[in-house]
Structures are given as C-alpha cells and as structure tokens.
Amino acid sequence: MSHIFHRSARSVPPLAVSGEGSYVLDSDGKRYLDACGGAAVSCLGHGQPEIAEAIAAQARRLAYAHTGFFTSEPAEELADLLIADAPAGLEKVFFVSSGSEAVETALKMAHQYHRERGETGRRHVISRWQSYHGNTLGALSAGGNRWRRAAYQDLLIDMHHIQPCYAYRGRASGESDEDYGRRVADELEEKILELGAGTVSAFIAETVVGATLGAVPPVPGYFARIRDICDRHGVLLILDEEMCGMGRTGHLHACLAEGISPDLMTVAKGLGAGYLPLGAVLASGRVHRAFAEGSGAFMHGHTFVGHPVACAAALAAQRIMRREGLVERVDAEEAFLHGLLDSAFGQHPHVGDIRGRGYLWGLELVEDRETGAPFAPEANLAARIKAKAQALGLLCYPGSGTVDGKAGDHILLAPPFTASREELERMTAILSDTLDAVVK
C-alpha cells in the first residue's frame, strides 16, 4: 500500500525507476516512449550525465544559501546566460521553484511596480479563458481553465477574462487570420475601458497556449496588437512561456516569433529540463528601475528562491542546449514532425485540427469532422486515450474541456528536443493505433 496522496485517490500509478533518453522504464521493465516530457518538461530526455554531475558538484560545494543573505555563482551565471539571449528590454531574473510560483511572482511584481510609481489604483488583472497559469490560488485565479477553477471558486481572487486567440473555433466564416486576431485582441481594450482607465495592472497570456487548449499558436499580428493596447493604457504585458518557452516552439522564447517583448515573462519546465524544479521571472529594465528608484525592495520571496543546486542543474541544461544547437534542431525538424502528424491524422474522421510549433503539437478530437462537434464530455475520451497509449508504451498529455471548459478533447505532444526521427515515427504510429482503438 502506498502512503503517498496520489493524484488519483483510487489507484496507484506504475513505479518509474529509470529513464534512458526518450524513454521511461517502470519497475516491471516496461519501456514508455515519453512523447510529452511529463508536462513538456523533459526537453533533454532522461539520464544526461553532465547535468547529474553538475548537481552533485554543486551539492558538494554549497547546497543552499538564503537569498536574504547571499547570492550564488550558479544563480548569477544562469541569470547572465538567460539575459544574454532574452527578448529586447528584459534585464533581470528572479528565480523561483515552479511555474506557479513564477506567475504569482510576476503578478505581485506588476502590482508593486505600479505602487512604486504612485499608481495605486491599478489593481485589476486581465487574462484569457481557456488558459492555464498554475495551481496556486493567484495563478489559478488568473488562469481560465474552468475545470481546474471549479473546486476552488469560492477561494479565488477576482480577476477578469477575455476570449482566447483560438482560430479553429473562433474565426468567423470568411474572416482572415489578421482580422480575427485584431478582433479578439481588441477585446482587451474593451475590457480595460470597461474596468476604468488607470485601474488595470497587467494582462497575462500564454504566447502559445499549452495544456488547456492544446498547442494553439496566435494568428499573425495578434500579439503586436496586444502589445500596442497595453502600451497605450499603461498595462504591463506578462507572457507565460512556462510550457511554450525555452526552445519548445523552435525559438528560445516563443514571443520572438511574434516580434514583441513583454514587460515580464515567466519560464519554468524546460528551463531545468526536469532535473530539478526551477522557474523564473524575466523582468524588463523599466520594471526593475521602478523598484531600484523607489522603495528599493521587492516585498516577496520564498525559502528556495535562487536555490544554488537547482540553478546549477539548469545552467548545465541550458549550456547543453546551446552547445548542441537543440533549439535550432527543433526549428529545423518542425516540418518533419508536422508532416508525420498530417500524414497520420490530417484526414482522420475524428481529428478536427492539428496545430502547434516546433516540438509542441496538439490534436483536437471531434465526433464529427465536418461540423467540428466534440465528443460528449461523459465519454472521457482524452483520459481513455492517455490510458490506452500508456498501455501500449506511449506517454501523451490529454486535455478535456477544450472547447469551452466542459466539452472537447485534445492530445498534446511535446517530445524531447533530442528525440530521433525513428522515435517521432514510433510516437505517431502508437498514437494512431491508440486513437483508432479508443474511438472504435
């Protein structure tokens, strides 16, 4: 009997005992092709000896130093590396232990930023429905995943939401991508004006929507319009790149493909490649100067902020990515992976949309391809596909409530940047067999 409070209170999952490259092995010796990196985390695969040695070396030298007393070499070096490649204007890094912590930190940083500048009326945060920003109460409040919010609705902070940029479902017949993008972006301006000029602190969005919608990229021009609206109304733009960032979409940062820079950006998951928990907020020089020239202190912190061993692990991971050109590899192999998915599922009667970038892809599942009608929620389709795929030796990330928080299903794929073409072909073949078996 397990004494762990598992996610499922009714069952105990298989016992993972080791990992080799793109595979996870359980205690029975079964091998699972990890086609989702857990939650788009294991971007370098499993068993990287260089990262393991960096962890051990740092633990031997200095395991922990509270940032109220010290900084550390790996934290300083990692921050230097991140800022050297950051979008224009981002100049400082605040390290935390998870993506949820990163979002909480960014929201509080935005809130205090306005107060440092004397704009004490700015208290509202705007986000998008069908988004996910983490599971702590502030991050959950900002997020637009109705299913995750439901159990804690009476605890959530009052935040505001607009519609996502979700062309497959939202674009009107005959409407161009550009016109659609402008229309949904303009909902932000409408919401700002509705709440009142000078009352909005920040707008937060995933650059490429991850788990809740299933790898939905923005249409051209959408984020340029969002950036313009935020600038005109003095609202900070927070981009959540925890799932889509750090090379996952073929750019080191997904916003580089949009030609914009945020005021604050959150990263996690692929930052440390899963070897130790680490997240971060990258802040613009403008934001940091408000603190430096104001009170001089950010009223926020956690015990494990800037943990030296976690930073050493991430530093090793990021050096490997750069040395081996893995972000460039993801960009170059995007067409191959897209081609595999299109060949296997492009005409599938129950796949309505194939979307994504780099090595982050989603398949939206439909009962009727012509109308786009989703399967009934009671079918638990995505969960059944996950279970069947795992039984066949494939790990994929399911999502339900894709359409409106209740109906709709998708499968998310996020293979390691190091995955071979043979492994990508095997991933596609097993997923095809899985989908056919479950739908039948």
- How many CB atoms neighbour CB 384 within 10 A? 16
| pLDDT of 8 strictly over 90 | no
| pLDDT of 140 strictly over 90 | yes
Cβ-contact 381, 365 below 8 angstroms = yes
Predicted local distance difference test score (pLDDT) of residue 344: 98
Predicted local distance difference test score (pLDDT) of residue 334: 98
DSSP H or E run through 140: helix 137-142
Q: What tokens were used for 274? A: 């899963």
> Is the residue at 203 inside a domain?
yes
Out of 294, 323, 352, a domain closes at 323
DSSP-assigned letter for residue 6:
-
Of 337, 389, 384, which Cα lies nearest the Cα of 360?
A: 337
| pLDDT of 193 strictly over 90 | yes
Residues 187 and 224 in one domain: yes
> Is the residue at 369 inside a domain?
yes
Residues 299 and 331 in one domain: no
Of 132, 225, 135, 147, which Cα lies nearest the Cα of 183?
A: 225
Cβ-contact 202, 110 below 8 angstroms = yes
Residues 329 and 316 in one domain: no
Residues 160 and 285 in one domain: yes
Predicted local distance difference test score (pLDDT) of residue 1: 81
Predicted local distance difference test score (pLDDT) of residue 19: 97
pTM value is 0.97
**CATH number reported for the structural domain that contains residue 144 in this entry:** 3.40.640.10
> Is the residue at 7 inside a domain?
no
Give me the sign of the Cα torsion angle 249, 251, 255, 260. negative
Residues 346 and 306 in one domain: no
> Is the residue at 168 inside a domain?
yes
The CA distance from 279 to 97, in Å, is 5
| pLDDT of 341 strictly over 90 | yes
Local confidence band at 7 (pLDDT 50, 70, 90 cut-offs): confident
What is the per-residue pLDDT across 232-279, written as a single tens digit (0 to 9) for each?
999 999 999 999 999 999 999 999 999 999 999 999 999 999 999 999
Residues 134 and 283 in one domain: yes
> Is the residue at 332 inside a domain?
yes
Mean pLDDT to the nearest integer, 56-62 = 98
Residues 57 and 197 in one domain: yes
The CA distance from 76 to 93, in Å, is 9
Out of 323, 349, 379, a domain closes at 323
Residues 318 and 397 in one domain: no
Q: What tokens were used for 59? A: 């633990």
Out of 265, 296, 323, a domain closes at 323
Count of structural domains within the chain:
2
Beta strand 200-206 with 236-240 is: parallel
Residues 284 and 347 in one domain: no
Mean pLDDT to the nearest integer, 185-210 = 97
Q: Can you give the C-alpha Rg of the chain in angstroms? A: 21
**CATH number reported for the structural domain that contains residue 373 in this entry:** 3.90.1150.10
In terms of Cβ atoms closer than 10 Å to its own Cβ (0-12, 13-18, 19+), residue 199 is: middle
Cβ-contact 348, 264 below 8 angstroms = no
Residues 81 and 226 in one domain: yes
> Is the residue at 6 inside a domain?
no
Beta carbons within 8 Å of 425's beta carbon, 6+ residues apart: 340
What is the per-residue pLDDT across 363-412, written as a single tens digit (0 to 9) for each?
999 999 999 999 999 999 999 999 999 999 999 999 999 999 999 999 99
> Is the residue at 11 inside a domain?
no
Mean pLDDT of the chain: 97
The CA distance from 427 to 357, in Å, is 17
| pLDDT of 9 strictly over 90 | no
> Is the residue at 251 inside a domain?
yes
Residues 309 and 336 in one domain: no
Q: What tokens were used for 20? A: 């080799």
The CA distance from 378 to 406, in Å, is 10
| pLDDT of 197 strictly over 90 | no
- Domain that includes residue 305, residue range: 52-323
CA dihedral 99, 100, 105, 107 (to 10 degrees): 110
Residues 201 and 347 in one domain: no
Cβ-contact 69, 244 below 8 angstroms = no
What residue spans of 1-48 are helical by DSSP H?
37-40
| pLDDT of 440 strictly over 90 | no
- Sheet containing 23-26, strands listed edge to edge, beginning at the edge strand earlier in sequence: 16-20, 23-26, 31-34, 394-395
Taking CA atoms, 221 is separated from 96, 167, 182, 233, 259, in Å, by 32, 13, 7, 19, 9
